[in-house]
Amino acid sequence: MLFTIPLVIYCNLYLSTPAEWLVIIGTMSLVAWMGCWRIQQSLVAIFFIIIAYFFLSMSIQSFKDNVALMAPFMGKQTVVVRIHKHKGGQSYLVKVVEPTPIKGQFWLLSTTNGSTLNPGEVWRMTVTIKPIRSSVNRGSLSQERRLLTDWVTAKAHCVELNEIVSSHLTVELIRQHCLDTLAKQIAHWKYHGMMLAVLFGDKSKVSPDIKDMFVNLGISHLLAVSGLHVGIWLFWVKCVLEHVFRAKNNAYCIAMMSTCIYACLSGFLPPIVRVVSCLLINYYYQAYIGYITWASVTWLAMSVCLLYCPFLVFDSGFSLSYLATFLIIYVTNFSPMNQSSWYVYCRLQLFFFIGLLPINLIFFGQYSLVSLLVNVVMIPWASIWLIPMTIASGLCVLMPCDQLIDATQCLFEHSWGVTMMCLSFVHQHTPRFISMFEQNTANLVIVTLVMWRLMVPGTISCPKRGVFVLLFWMFKQSGLPDDTWRMTLLDVGQGLSVVIQTSQGLIVFDTGPQTSKTSSVQTTLLPYLRYLGQSKIDLLIISHGDNDHSGGLEPLLRHMQIGEFVSGEPERLHIDYRVNPCHHGMKWDFGAVSVEVLSPMDITASQANNRSCVVRIHDGKRQVLLTGDITTSIESELVDRYQSSLRSDVVVMPHHGSYGSSSIRFIQATRPKIALASAGFMNRWNHPHPDVISRYQAFDSDVLSTTTCGMIQLQFDESGIQTQCLRHDLLFPDIYPNDG
């Protein structure tokens, strides 16, 4: 049967590509066949997918060559760059002008001197250049993937601004000026961040709590400028032109021009490129050639986008946007005749809920359980009132009339206030997530089969109840057997965060660092716990009060239930929550797994690092030692007190593998099979230190570091210890591997 062709391609590509490619290309093949159902041109569509795959492979090789050209320029350099786009905060996308060998490459530039750089300016500056490297964890978006869509080959930090060479007027400069002007005028408005998000796609002023709520409810697409926003803009502008100004002949043309202006203001994000491309292609065909189906329009638009930037296939917005478009085309073409528009609309939302599962699970590792019902209500409300009112409010602010601005502010704040109140109520009283416990080939094939059975009648001859059994099997929360437990060392950069899963509970040891803008709790730990489908931490241990171990506690306590909370330095956490002091002798049992505190023995120790909780986790056969930031003096105390019982299968290196820790005596006593280090890539402290790595290797320990592995997961079961490193360096090879 014809439907087997996409599945054959799907499985063959898996042999040479990671799981993300598998699902994206497989899903594209699926919707290709669906979109061409009646005209039986699925072979043509699938041929396009194969061509796109090879074109993508060529682009990846070209990109790797550009990355390799950067090798001689790593470190401190004086360069000339053009400011291309402001990426928020003190980050900028820049294009290299000099030196000539790497001219035309894009970098992500960061500044810390408070200087404001404007798009279009050409600067001579002194920078420190580093290769691209970001944290890699399950449930979290990879910054590497996001930077890839901008063709970014390196990161640069501005050390000194030397001189401005020239300045040019660009579309991005106009956009940034409009954004800054409006942001200044509405800074005192409640929910002003929502207006900036709807008009410009800038979510930097939206509070983290609101972002989390929108993600949890499955309506984050309303915060980002998407095809829905552009469609609403086009519809209302066209209606105003036709019914108010009576310009019926030119209404569509003028509306399209205004839509392109709105797209420029929003920054031409992938979903915007998709919808504007579709509208322009359709307009051209209708005006100059004749009839064209929306399926053909969408395929042409996607072809243009992928030819312009093949790496868009890695962008979640691009994949979700086109898949949603094909689902709309399919549902509107195959809905039963004489059905009400509400029936078609609700059926479409059901198809969205099912059809967008693969991409959502790959990019985000989770899917909102209530998104179907919330979207059924929110999309009409946003389309009819919320988004048009927000856009109109932004235009009214520019009017020189204080009374109009005051009335607009009142209307805006009340509309968003009522919306937030209703969403908060739903958010607090409903389950939130579907999460896949493992993203493996079997699960992904099942997703495809379920989609086929539910959306394409007659393609799989199995009863409907069998499909829902598969759904239940795939999305049930998988528990661990009593004799199995997992330890996950999260990749939080220069910090530490460990998650222990047992059949009887969940343990978190440290939360990683916090910066002025965000924390590893928000970017890594919470997304990972949601990925696991967890809402409660049975035991939270914060080794001591240093920021790289205790950052982001407030959002963690706000979003997760905590059973017991202990810390080596409760007084340094500065939170309004009961925290018990961690001390020698404390013990907890989680089924076959026991957790025991070995240190601190003196809770009044003056040095913060030496008050770190040292925790031993064992199941009677295997033992793990979590050490915090202890120094060699505490290591000696532990060896003296516990001697041979200190021997462990796995040790997390004290103090991230610093030179002044992990003494020979300590390593000899523990003799770990696996030594783990949690550190930032190319960190200034050179953690883990090469000498420390050599010490562990001298005792036949396998040394694994988050700098090269990303997230590290260990599973302990009857067969032994299985180790998994999450990082796949397919696109960003180590130009300068971390030496320490």
Among residues 168, 189, 224, the one where a domain terminates is 168
Closest CA to 36 of 24, 44, 28: 44
Indicate if the pLDDT at residue 419 is higher than 70. Answer: yes
Handedness of CA 498, 499, 501, 506 (dihedral sign): positive
Instruction: Read off the pLDDT of each residue in 266-285 and give the average, rounded to a whole number.
Output: 82
693-703 pLDDT per residue, tens: 999 999 999 99
Q: Could you tell me if 40 and 107 lie in one domain?
A: no
- Residue 11 is predicted with a pLDDT of 36
- Residue 351 is predicted with a pLDDT of 80
Q: Tokens 């040790």 — which residue?
A: 651
Domain-embedded: residue 236? no
- What's the total number of domains in the chain? 3
Q: Could you tell me if 444 and 499 lie in one domain?
A: no
Q: Could you tell me if 74 and 55 lie in one domain?
A: no
- Residue 732 is predicted with a pLDDT of 44
Indicate if the pLDDT at residue 318 is higher than 60. Answer: yes
CATH number at residue 87: 2.40.50
- Residue 736 is predicted with a pLDDT of 33
Evaluate whether 50 touches 34 at the Cβ level (below 8 Å). no
17-62 pLDDT per residue, tens: 444 444 455 445 545 544 444 444 555 555 666 666 677 777 777 8
Domain-embedded: residue 384? no
Indicate if the pLDDT at residue 251 is higher than 50. Answer: yes
Burial of 571 per CB tally in 10 Å (0-12, 13-18, 19+): exposed
Q: Could you tell me if 63 and 76 lie in one domain?
A: no
99-145 pLDDT per residue, tens: 989 999 999 999 876 678 899 999 999 999 998 888 888 888 777 77
Q: How far apart are CA 321 and CA 221, in angstroms?
A: 10
Q: Could you tell me if 591 and 514 lie in one domain?
A: yes
- Residue 326 is predicted with a pLDDT of 78
Q: Could you tell me if 492 and 469 lie in one domain?
A: no
Max CA pair span of the chain: 90
Residue 14 binned pLDDT confidence (cut-offs 50, 70, 90): very low
The pLDDT mean for the chain works out to 82
Q: Could you tell me if 562 and 467 lie in one domain?
A: no
Q: How far apart are CA 79 and CA 32, in angstroms?
A: 46
Q: How far apart are CA 134 and CA 129, in angstroms?
A: 15
Q: Could you tell me if 51 and 75 lie in one domain?
A: no
- Residue 455 is predicted with a pLDDT of 57
Indicate if the pLDDT at residue 172 is higher than 70. Answer: yes
Angle at 115 between CA 113 and CA 121, to 5 degrees: 135
User: How far separated are the first and last CA of the chain, in Å rounded?
Assistant: 55
Domain-embedded: residue 362? no
Indicate if the pLDDT at residue 677 is higher than 90. Answer: yes
Q: Could you tell me if 459 and 589 lie in one domain?
A: no
Q: Could you tell me if 128 and 35 lie in one domain?
A: no
> Where is average pLDDT lowest: 38-52, 407-421, 531-545?
38-52
- Residue 612 is predicted with a pLDDT of 94
pTM comes to: 0.80
Domain-embedded: residue 344? no
Indicate if the pLDDT at residue 733 is higher than 50. Answer: no
581-596 pLDDT per residue, tens: 999 999 999 988 999 9
Q: How far apart are CA 32 and CA 302, in angstroms?
A: 12
Domain-embedded: residue 234? no
**217 or 44: whose pLDDT is higher?**
217
Q: Could you tell me if 672 and 527 lie in one domain?
A: yes
Among residues 103, 137, 168, the one where a domain terminates is 168
Burial of 222 per CB tally in 10 Å (0-12, 13-18, 19+): buried
- Residue 444 is predicted with a pLDDT of 53
Domain-embedded: residue 363? no
Domain-embedded: residue 350? no
- Long-range contacts, stretch 206-215, CB < 8 angstroms, 24+ apart: 208/518, 208/522, 208/555, 209/558, 210/420, 212/559, 213/423, 213/424, 213/427, 214/423, 215/368
Q: Could you tell me if 144 and 8 lie in one domain?
A: no
Evaluate whether 580 touches 566 at the Cβ level (below 8 Å). yes
Among residues 449, 475, 501, the one where a domain terminates is 475
DSSP codes joined into one string, 468-487 = HHHHHHHHS-PPPPTT-EEE
Indicate if the pLDDT at residue 408 is higher than 60. Answer: yes
CATH number at residue 590: 3.60.15.10
Range of the domain at 457: 4-67+437-475
CA distances from 587 to 350, 484, 560, 582, 627 (A): 48, 20, 22, 10, 16
Domain-embedded: residue 183? no
